[in-house]
Structure 1
Amino acid sequence: MSDLQRAFARTHLARLPPDAPPVFDEREERDESQDEALPLPPESPNDSSSSASSTSSTGTIVPSPSQKLFERPRSSGIKSRSAPLPWDDFFAQSLSFRQTTPSGTISHHAYLTPPTSSGPLIVTHHGAGSSGLSFAAFTSELLKLLPSAGVLSLDARGHGETSVTTSSGSSPSAQDLSLTTLAQDLAFVVNAVKGHMKWTTLPDIVLIGHSLGGAVVTEVAHERLLGNALLAYGVLDVVEGSAMDALSSMDTYLSTRPRSFPSLASGIEWHLKSRTIRNTTSARVSVPSLLLESKVTDKWSWRTDLGATKPFWEGWFVGLSKKFLESRGGKLLLLAGTDRLDKELMIGQMQGKYQLQVFPESGHFIQEDQPAKTAQIVADFYRRNDRGGLVLPPKVDDLIKQGKLKPAEHK
């Protein structure tokens, strides 16, 4: 630099105010603050916070001091990946239906987004220890693909907000959780929703069940508890063979998971870090319904005592494959791995008796780990079985009456 250039620079720099704010790249500031506020795991399929999401501000900006663009967000305004999400972000209604039985009173709870016009009703049933909110993220994705559809996601007895008061005064852990009872509960809730919505008839119904829920929806289909309203049913990551094999290790699994958590956030974080649930959004909405706060210890414990359900484990899955293949209606099986297929289902799959889809990148909670992909498969499954889309050929008698066919022509 020449002496003339140095003199020119000193003269102009001296005119700048001493407290001039530094220049910065808005993209770098935005990305840095987002990384601190929302440390979402890379495997979350619903993560939309990409640095490429904004096409503005491609250069540097000198902000005015009044804009406070350099001020970091307060911690109270940061939504961490462990903050719970409310149910009404995903469903339109939260419903309760009271049922009195000889053994006691049940307050059935379910989440509902009603179908519109002639849309189908997708009825979901969760697995053991879970709740109806395990299908929350799935519901959000499904309704994008099938806007006219409705989703009914229930809490099984002893799970979520469904409570049982026994007439004998026995503890809730001793309640009946047999497969037959759970199937009847599902049919009761569906018909209770029919009355609540003032439907004259049930819409076309597609049942979707995860794990234990898969056995329940198969039982409903096998026993025809919903009659001709049942269009099709799908089972998520459960088959008889592997389920029976896994029962021997259930006690070990239950003994290794935490008994309680100091907060809801820590419970959500455990599910994510242990990869029990691999999708942040789904964990934030579903995990709070699995835990109950103790007024004595201020800790959050499991709402459902899975160990107390042990007497029913074997009965949930015995004969599942046979009933799945024999029941009427379209059939869908979604698995996290092909190793889960037993011999009976392998033969049925080769014979084309049902639709099979494998999600090797998912864990056991398929609808939570991969809600968008699961919703796409279910939406296509419904369209394939939609009665409204079937165009049957005209009957021969009708063609003869219309004069389009002579009596001898069809022989």
Structure 2
Amino acid sequence: MSDLQRAWAKAKYSISNDTFDEVDEEHENDVLPELPEPVDDDSSSASSASSVSSTGTIIPSPNQKLFARPQGVARGRTLEQIPWTTYFERELSLKSEQEPEVVYHAYLTSPVGKGPLFVMHHGAGSSGLSFAVVASEIKKRLSTAGILAIDCRGHGSTNAPGDKALDMRLDTLSSDLFSMVQLTKNEMAWPEMPPIVLVGHSLGGAVVTDLAKSGRLGTSVLGYAVLDVVEGSAIDALQSMHTYLSTRPLGFATLQAGIEWHIRSRTIRNSISARTSVPALLVFNENDDPTRPWRWRTNLGATQPYWEGWFIGLSKKFLGAKGGKLLLLAGTDRLDTELTIGQMQGKYALQVFPEAGHFIHEDLPEKTAVSLVDFFRRNDRSALVLPPKVSDLLKQGKRV
């Protein structure tokens, strides 16, 4: 709206400029922002935690705009796909050593120097690109950070033929994630494993917790973050899973129609995230219905035998595994009894984003990135200043 139109409308109808600013913001929200050079912002204002403790409930400070509207659908919006190259350095195809017919796929931005590696596992039916936008936000705040976002078997571009794609047992997925981390280290010829922060959304939260509890990655793991999944509410939600799947469209006429459905249904409340992640959820197949050739890549209904196994015992493992613990939720009503008690005892850090949906990291990538970077910094062992050894003090002629 031009300045002349603003002035005319304001004079005639006594409409404030704030109203026009809000309308213009809706148009601007759907424009893909340029990704600036990464900035390692170590100021306290960039941190979501106001406490020096690595546990406790974290309440974001006002300057983080906790109640700001998530980016959403705007009039005149574009629904064009945003390529993965906008967010990651490279994609990897990694052949499984245990199952040579399985070829893992992942997206990688390598850590710089002694920077951490955020290893990210998506939820059921999603893909590694679910973490694309939050990955770029992490890099803005921690320029040395690396991000490894994997495609689980049966999802994304990971190739697991036949029944292999449907082997969705928790121990299989946990072993897959361990293998992908090791294969990535070998592929990139890293001399040693970087410090790792495991991050998992929904099903992915169960996978990273299981891997952390197993200890297979050793002391490389600084901590693990679980996004919007707890044992009690997850198992309760399984009862309505078939209803949800039956109400989803079987397919879409175009890729853009699939993106738009995710935004309008508020499955994903951020159009930039939807334009990035949704294309990987669909595959073109006009054999079943030529009018809706874009079909779901993953048959979630076929994974039903494994649903309960993903989440049973999750709370106990989450509280018992070694390393820092962070739980991000869209609502405190999701907490079960065991986690509520654990929170009262200060066993993990909790942050709640009530304005987000289930896909917290896609709805609010900036706030999620702030939480994850701050979580790493609170658990970064390289930042610890240890007292000098007694033997060193004696060599220096000092009395002890």
TM-score tier after normalising by the smaller chain length:
0.7 to 0.9
Give the match for residue 71 of structure 2: none
| Matching of residue 87 in structure 1 with residue 78 in structure 2 | no
| Matching of residue 178 in structure 1 with residue 175 in structure 2 | no
Q: How far has the Cα of 1:376 moved from its partner?
A: 0.4
In the TM superposition, what are the counterparts of 1:303-382 in structure 2 within 5 Å? 303-382=297-376
Match of 1:105 among 101, 104, 119: 101
* CA distance in structure 2 between the partners assigned to 1:100 and 1:176 by the alignment: 17
* CA distance in structure 1 between the partners assigned to 2:183 and 2:108 by the alignment: 12
Residue 320 of structure 1 aligns with an amino acid whose one-letter code is L
* CA distance in structure 1 between the partners assigned to 2:120 and 2:76 by the alignment: 29
* CA distance in structure 2 between the partners assigned to 1:216 and 1:101 by the alignment: 19
Match of 2:251 among 253, 257, 260: 260
Per-residue CA deviations over 1:278-311 (Å, capped at 9, x if unaligned) read 0000000100000011043441110000000001
Under a length normalisation based on structure 1, what TM-score does the superposition of the two structures give? 0.78
Relative to structure 1, is the Cα distance of residues 45 and 225 closer, same or farther in structure 2, using a 3 angstrom cutoff? Answer: farther
Query: Are the aligned partners of 1:184 and 1:225 in contact in 2 as well (CA < 8 Å)?
Result: no
Give the % identical residues. Answer: 56
Q: How far has the Cα of 1:40 moved from its partner?
A: 9.7
In the TM superposition, what are the counterparts of 1:96-245 in structure 2 within 5 Å? 96-101=93-98, 105-165=101-161, 170-171=162-163, 175-245=166-236
Residue 207 of structure 2 aligns with an amino acid whose one-letter code is V
* CA distance in structure 2 between the partners assigned to 1:252 and 1:40 by the alignment: 38
Relative to structure 1, is the Cα distance of residues 180 and 41 closer, same or farther in structure 2, using a 3 angstrom cutoff? Answer: farther
* CA distance in structure 1 between the partners assigned to 2:29 and 2:343 by the alignment: 29
Query: Are the aligned partners of 1:40 and 1:280 in contact in 2 as well (CA < 8 Å)?
Result: no
What's the RMSD between the two structures over aligned residues?
2.4
Query: Are the aligned partners of 2:137 and 2:366 in contact in 1 as well (CA < 8 Å)?
Result: yes
Residue 187 of structure 2 aligns with an amino acid whose one-letter code is H
Structure 1 unaligned segments of length 5 or more: list them.
1-23, 30-38, 50-77, 407-411
Query: Tell me, what secondary structure is at the counterpart of 2:102?
Result: strand
Relative to structure 1, is the Cα distance of residues 343 and 284 closer, same or farther in structure 2, using a 3 angstrom cutoff? Answer: same
Give the match for residue 19 of structure 1: none
* CA distance in structure 1 between the partners assigned to 2:114 and 2:211 by the alignment: 23
Residue 250 of structure 2 aligns with an amino acid whose one-letter code is R
* CA distance in structure 2 between the partners assigned to 1:303 and 1:289 by the alignment: 8
Query: Tell me, what secondary structure is at the counterpart of 2:160?
Result: strand
* CA distance in structure 1 between the partners assigned to 2:4 and 2:149 by the alignment: 41
Q: How far has the Cα of 1:79 moved from its partner?
A: 8.7
Query: Tell me, what secondary structure is at the counterpart of 2:96?
Result: strand
Q: Which has the larger radius of gyration?
A: 1
Per-residue CA deviations over 1:364-397 (Å, capped at 9, x if unaligned) read 0000000000000001111111111111222334
Residue 196 of structure 1 aligns with an amino acid whose one-letter code is E
* CA distance in structure 1 between the partners assigned to 2:27 and 2:142 by the alignment: 26
Give the match for residue 62 of structure 2: none
Per-residue CA deviations over 1:209-257 (Å, capped at 9, x if unaligned) read 0000000000110001211111111000000110111111111111111
Q: How far has the Cα of 1:44 moved from its partner?
A: 9.4
Give the match for residue 403 of structure 1: 397
Structure 2 unaligned segments of length 5 or more: list them.
7-22, 34-74
Query: Are the aligned partners of 2:118 and 2:199 in contact in 1 as well (CA < 8 Å)?
Result: yes
In the TM superposition, what are the counterparts of 1:3-152 in structure 2 within 5 Å? 25=2, 42=26, 80-101=77-98, 105-152=101-148
Q: How far has the Cα of 1:400 moved from its partner?
A: 3.4
Query: Are the aligned partners of 2:27 and 2:76 in contact in 1 as well (CA < 8 Å)?
Result: no
* CA distance in structure 1 between the partners assigned to 2:123 and 2:101 by the alignment: 23
Q: How far has the Cα of 1:47 moved from its partner?
A: 6.0
Query: Are the aligned partners of 2:27 and 2:77 in contact in 1 as well (CA < 8 Å)?
Result: no
Residue 216 of structure 1 aligns with an amino acid whose one-letter code is V
Give the match for residue 72 of structure 2: none
Query: Tell me, what secondary structure is at the counterpart of 2:88?
Result: coil
* CA distance in structure 2 between the partners assigned to 1:243 and 1:236 by the alignment: 12
Query: Are the aligned partners of 1:43 and 1:279 in contact in 2 as well (CA < 8 Å)?
Result: no
* CA distance in structure 2 between the partners assigned to 1:252 and 1:352 by the alignment: 37
Residue 323 of structure 1 aligns with an amino acid whose one-letter code is K
- For this pair of structures, how many residues does the alignment match? 340
